[in-house]
Amino acid sequence: MTRTTASRPLLERITVAEGEGRAIQDAATREVIGHAPVHTTEDLDRAIAAARAAQPAWAALGHAERSRILRAIADDIEAEAEDLARLLSREQGKPLNGPNARFEVGACAVWTRNAADTPLEPEVVFEAGASRAEVHYDPLGVVAAIGPWNWPMMITVWQIAPSLRMGNTVVVKPSEHTPLSVLALVDVFARHLPSGVVAAVSGDREVGAAIAGHEGVDKVMFTGSTATGRRIVESSAQNLARLTLELGGNDAGIVLPDTDVAAIAQDLFWGIFINTGQTCASLKRLYVHESQYEQVVQALADLAASTPMGHGLDEANVLGPLQNETQFQIVSRLVDDARARGARIVAGGHPAPALGPLFFEATVVADIDDAAPLVVEEQFGPVIPVLAYTDVEEAVRRANDSAQGLGASVWSQDLDAAKAVAARLQAGTVWINQHGGLNPQVPFGGVKASGYGQEFGVAGLKAVAAPKVISY
């Protein structure tokens, strides 16, 4: 948790000696990259205490100065972008190219600048003669940022940049699977900030369990599973911390009749297979009208078979491994179950051990029942079940038949028809002729079991602030 400078090589700044930490492996080869520090609940207590002590002075700097510092941090992220991307590629598994490691690091700079540049002025909510009521937004205090392993750097920036802009201090808890990427990112932030304003606590499940209900925490931002999100809600009863929860999804897409399949095929493919399918808001169930069903299935199968997969540092690859053994086993189980049920495996369908121990072929599954676990559960891997429908009413009903509601998409040449379907889908975001595209100015969040609270833009700044009404 000590502050460092950029003069030493990246891994030296964030790793510890072999006997002092936990080995972190290359996701593709399982070779050891370095050793992450293993912090304790006592380290967490110290980090939160330091954050509380630093917060008043940080808030007192004002929006203009905090924004200036965030812009400098964004510049520094760009200056170290290649080293950060190569570390991310090895630890998480995503290739350098395509919508992957370099893309993620670039997004970190973009979202940091956006947090700095988004205006948030006091809002006049009532005015009559000399009477007036304004809503101002004050810092909350200490924000706990608990991140996932699939987009570890980008999602951490989504949590910490707006928090810092609004005058909060932040304690970051990275995933145990990808701590080095987050430690490297926090290192860049910390070198521009007063001591205590941001810190990363790289601990085990005990540390994770302690952070949400910690008496020194005022806000928890969490991205991860619904099961863990429920435990965070329970823990927050201890300190009444405010919550933003992004709990993943089982996103549905609906291809309407008469869609130009050739025109949408690439966008459809990457809506599914971005980050090798390991994205909360990627497309995970695809409903296609029976008139175009085989055409869509074959288009996706052709792309799955031809898209390069392999080690992320190979510039030719754009698909990588599953990040960890647990996720590899989940994907394998779901595909094996689909095969046993008689589903048609049109592309892929098997592990790819020649590439590495955690690689699984890009897989397209057709003729599968809605009740199959591959359809009901979030697979979080390079697999898509494609399901036929006969009328739009049926497609909407089946798409909404899920406990989760993060994202959804509608694909059509008829914008009015697509908008009419989008209005009836139960999701926090519905995209038309795209899936998963995010904009730092556009609010993002889920409904149902996909969590609550919004991030990005003005809504994201308000989510890490305490509204105060001043009436006179």
Q: What is the pLDDT of residues 267-287, one digit of tens each?
A: 999 999 999 999 999 999 999
Q: Give the pLDDT score at 26.
A: 98
Residue 361 and residue 306 share a domain = yes
Q: How far apart are CA 178 and CA 188, in angstroms?
A: 17
Q: Average pLDDT of 210-230? A: 96
Q: Is 175 helix (H, G, I), strand (E, B) or coil?
A: coil
Residue 259 and residue 236 share a domain = no
CB neighbours (10 Å) of residue 468? 11
Sheet holding 131-139, edge to edge: 123-128, 131-139, 465-471
Q: Give the pLDDT score at 3.
A: 47
Q: Give the pLDDT score at 5.
A: 54
Q: Is residue 437 assigned to a domain?
A: no
Asked whether the beta carbons of 259 and 292 are under 8 A apart, the reply is yes
Q: Is residue 81 assigned to a domain?
A: yes
Q: Is residue 5 assigned to a domain?
A: no
Sheet holding 142-146, edge to edge: 198-200, 169-173, 142-146, 219-223, 242-246, 451-452
User: In 61-100, which residue ranges form alpha helices assigned H by DSSP?
Assistant: 62-79, 81-92
Residue 243 and residue 331 share a domain = no
Q: Give the pLDDT score at 204.
A: 87
Q: Give the pLDDT score at 56.
A: 98
Residue 206 and residue 263 share a domain = no
Q: How far apart are CA 341 and CA 325, in angstroms?
A: 24
Q: Give the pLDDT score at 432.
A: 98
Angle between helices 392-400 and 415-422 (to 10 degrees): 40
Residue 352 and residue 316 share a domain = yes
Tens of pLDDT, residue by residue over 393-430, are 999 999 999 999 999 999 999 999 999 999 999 999 99
Residues forming beta bridges with residue 220, ordered by sequence position: 144, 243
Residues forming beta bridges with residue 144, ordered by sequence position: 171, 220
For tokens 């609010």, name the residue. Answer: 443
Asked whether the beta carbons of 389 and 290 are under 8 A apart, the reply is yes
Tens of pLDDT, residue by residue over 45-74, are 999 999 999 999 999 999 999 999 999 999
For 225, the domain range is 10-247+450-471
Q: Is residue 2 assigned to a domain?
A: no
Q: Is residue 124 assigned to a domain?
A: yes
Residue 189 and residue 286 share a domain = no
Residue 455 and residue 344 share a domain = no
Instruction: From 373, 76, 81, select the one nearest 250 (Cα to Cα).
Output: 373
Residue 346 and residue 421 share a domain = yes
Residue 281 and residue 206 share a domain = no
Asked whether the beta carbons of 466 and 137 are under 8 A apart, the reply is yes
Of 3-7, 142-146, 152-156, 302-306, minimum mean pLDDT range: 3-7
Token pair of 265, please? 């095929």
Q: Is residue 369 assigned to a domain?
A: yes
Q: Which helix H or strand E contains 469, and what residues bound it?
A: strand 465-471
Catalytic residue annotation: 246, 280
Q: How far apart are CA 146 and CA 363, in angstroms?
A: 31
**How many structural domains does the chain have?**
2
Q: Is residue 83 assigned to a domain?
A: yes
Residue 259 and residue 177 share a domain = no
Residue 343 and residue 286 share a domain = yes
Q: Give the pLDDT score at 14.
A: 95
pLDDT above 50: residue 142: yes
* Domain CATH code at residue 25: 3.40.605.10
Q: Is residue 438 assigned to a domain?
A: no
CB neighbours (10 Å) of residue 8? 11
Residue 302 pLDDT grade (very low, low, confident, very high; cuts 50, 70, 90) = very high
Cα first-last separation, the chain: 45
% of the chain beyond a pLDDT of 90: 96
pLDDT above 80: residue 145: yes
Residue 6 pLDDT grade (very low, low, confident, very high; cuts 50, 70, 90) = low
Q: Is 261 helix (H, G, I), strand (E, B) or coil?
A: helix
Higher pLDDT, 2 or 238: 238
* Domain CATH code at residue 358: 3.40.309.10
Q: Give the pLDDT score at 2.
A: 40
Residue 217 and residue 260 share a domain = no
Please list, in sequence order, all residues whose beta carbon lies within 8 angstroms of the beta carbon of residue 389, skipping any fewer than 6 positions away: 254, 287, 288, 289, 290, 395, 398
Q: How far apart are CA 272 and CA 300, in angstroms?
A: 10
Q: Average pLDDT of 155-182? A: 98
Q: How far apart are CA 243 and CA 212, in angstroms?
A: 9
Q: Give the pLDDT score at 205.
A: 86
Instruction: From 458, 441, 444, select the one nearest 120 (Cα to Cα).
Output: 458
